[in-house]
Amino acid sequence: MKTEKIINKTTSKCINVVASKVESLRINNDLENTVRVYDKGTIGVDGRLGNADFSEMETAAKTKLAQGIAYPETHEEAKTISIDTTKQIFGEKDFIPKMSSLLDRLAKENPEFLFSNKIMLNSTETVYENSDGAALSYKGNQFMLSLAIKYKGSANIMDEFYGCEDDCFDEDKICRDVKMQCDAFLRNLPQIDEDEVTVIGNFEPFQYAIQHFIADLYFNKSSILDGKLGQRVFNETLNVVVDRSPERQINIPFFDAEGVVNREYVNSVIKNGVLQTLVTTKKSAIQYDTANLGSASASYNGVPQAGMGGFDVTSTAENLAQLIKGKTIFLSNTSGGDMTPSGDISMPSIVSYLFEDGKLLGKLPEFTITGNLFDILGKDFIGVCEHGLYEFGRRKYFVYKAKLVNKA
Amino acid sequence: MYKFKQGYYADVRVEDRFATNVLFQNGALHEAKETVEKKAFIRVFDGKMWYYASTSDINSIQQSLDDLYGYAQKNPDIEKHPIVAKYQINKDKIVKFDKTNVRNIPLNDKLQLILDTSKRMVSDFCSFANARYIDRHSVYSFYSSKGADITYDFQTCGVAYGMIFNCNGETLQEQLSKCETEFGKLGYSENELTEFVNRCENYIQNAKPIVAGSYPVILAPIATGVFAHESFGHKSEADFMLGDETMAREWTIGKKIGSDILTIRETGVFEGSGYVPYDDEGTKATDTYLIKNGVLSGRLHSAATAAALGEELTGNARAINCDYEPIVRMTSTFIENGESTLQDLLKDIKHGYYIHSIKHGSGMSTFTIAPSIAYEIVDGKIGDPVKIAVLTGNVFEMLGLIDGVGNDRKLLSFVTGGCGKMEQYPLNVGMGGPHIRVSKMNVQ
CB contact under 8 A, A158 and B240: yes
- Could you tell me what percentage of chain A is helix, strand and coil, using 3-state DSSP and rounding each to the nearest 5? 20, 40, 40
Neighbours of A210 (CB within 10 A): 14
Render the burial of B169-204: b for 16+ CB within 10 Å, e for the rest: ebbbbbbbbbbbbebeebebeeeebeebbebbbbbb
Q: Is the pLDDT of residue A204 over 90?
A: no
Q: What is the pLDDT of residue B316?
A: 98
Q: Which residue of B has its CA nearest to A283?
A: B30
What element of type H or E holds B350? Answer: none
B347's enclosing H/E stretch is helix B342-347
CB contact A225 to B (< 8 Å) = no
Residues facing residue B352 across a β-bridge:
B377
Residue A92, pLDDT > 80, answer: no
Instruction: Closest CB to B33: pick one of A223, A302, A337.
Output: A302
Confidence band (pLDDT; 50, 70, 90) for A188? very high
Name the pTM for this structure.
Answer: 0.94
The model's pLDDT over A280-338, given as tens digits with 9 standing for 90+, comes to 999 999 999 999 999 999 999 999 999 988 999 999 999 999 999 999 999 999 988 88
Whether residue B15 contacts residue B153, with contact meaning beta carbons closer than 8 Å, is answered with: no
pLDDT tens figures, B97-127: 999 999 999 999 999 999 999 999 999 999 9
Q: Is B66 helix (H, G, I), strand (E, B) or coil?
A: helix
Number of residues that this document lists for chain B: 444
Q: How far apart are CA B100 and CA B155, in angstroms?
A: 9
pLDDT exceeds cutoff 90 at A352: yes
Q: Is A274 exposed, middle or buried (0-12, 13-18, 19+ CB in 10 A)?
A: middle
Residue A241 has pLDDT above 80, yes or no: yes
**How large a percentage of chain B has pLDDT more than 70?**
100
User: Taking residues A143-170, what's their average pLDDT?
Assistant: 93
pLDDT value at residue B144: 98
Is it the case that residue A155 has pLDDT exceeding 90? no
Q: Which residues contact A299 (CB under 8 A, 6 or more apart)?
A: A47
Instruction: Single out the residue of B237, B232, B341 nearest to residue B292, CA to CA.
Output: B232
CA Rg value for chain A: 23
Q: Which of A26, A29, A347 sits opposite B325 (nearest CB)?
A: A26
**CB contacts < 8 Å between A and B, how many?**
191
Mean pLDDT of A387-400: 95
**Is the per-residue pLDDT at A156 higher than 90?**
no
Distance CA A5, CA A56 (A): 12
Beta strands in A179-313 (DSSP E): 196-201, 240-243, 266-271, 274-275, 311-313
User: Which amino acid appears at position B353 of this protein?
Assistant: Y
Beta bridge partners of B178: B159
The answer to whether B283 and B317 have CB atoms below 8 angstroms apart is: yes
Q: Which residues of chain B have pLDDT under 50?
A: none
Q: pLDDT grade, residue A368 (50/70/90)? A: very high
pLDDT in tens, A34-70: 999 999 999 999 999 999 999 999 999 999 999 999 9
A316, β-bridge pairs: none
CA atoms within 13 A on the CB side of A360: 25
Q: What is residue B84's predicted lDDT score, i.e. its pLDDT? A: 98
**Percentage of chain A exceeding pLDDT 90:** 90
Average pLDDT, chain A: 95
SS3 content of chain B, % helix, strand, coil (to 5): 25, 45, 35
CB-facing half-sphere around the CA of A278: CA atoms within 13 A: 31
A146 vs B: CB within 8 A = yes
pLDDT recorded at residue B282 = 98
Contacts of B284 (CB under 8 A, 6+ apart): B88, B90, B92, B277, B278, B315
> What is the rounded CA–CA span in Å between residue A77 and residue A137?
16
Q: What is d(CA B210, CA B205) in angstroms, rounded to the nearest whole number? A: 15
User: Under a CB-based contact definition with an 8 Å cutoff, are residues B334 and B434 in contact?
Assistant: no
Out of B128, B247, B363, name the one closest to residue A220 (CB).
B128
Residues of A in contact with B204 (CB under 8 A): 341
pLDDT, average across residues A68-82: 97
CA nearest B390: which of B313, B443, B325, B318?
B443
* Interstrand relation of B50-55 and A21-39 (parallel, antiparallel or unpaired): parallel
A336 touches chain B (CB under 8 A): yes
Give the three-state DSSP class for A177. helix
**ipTM of model over 0.85:** yes
By CA distance, what is B170's nearest residue in A?
A341
- Shortest distance, CA B271 to any CA of chain A (angstroms): 29
pLDDT at B242: 87
CA distance A308 to A292: 13
| Cβ atoms of residues B307 and B384 within 8 Å | no
Nearest residue, CB atoms, B127 vs list A69, A222, A341: A222
Distance between CA atoms of B199 and B178, rounded to whole angstroms?
17
* 8 A C-beta contact, residue A173 and residue A392: yes
- Quick check: A188 contacting B, CB < 8 Å? no
Triad B122, B124, B128: Cα angle to 5°: 70
Task: Write out chain B residues lying below 8 Å of A156, CB-based.
Answer: 364-365
Q: With an 8 Å Cβ cutoff, are A340 and B389 in contact? A: yes
Amino acid occupying residue A105: R
A406 — pLDDT class (breaks 50, 70, 90): confident
Mean pLDDT for the stretch of residues A253-271: 97
**Pairing of β B424-427 and β B391-394:** unpaired
Residue A359's pLDDT band (cuts 50, 70, 90): very high
In chain A, which among 55-114 make CB contacts under 8 A with chain B? Answer: 67-70, 114
Cβ–Cβ under 8 Å, residues A65 and A44: yes
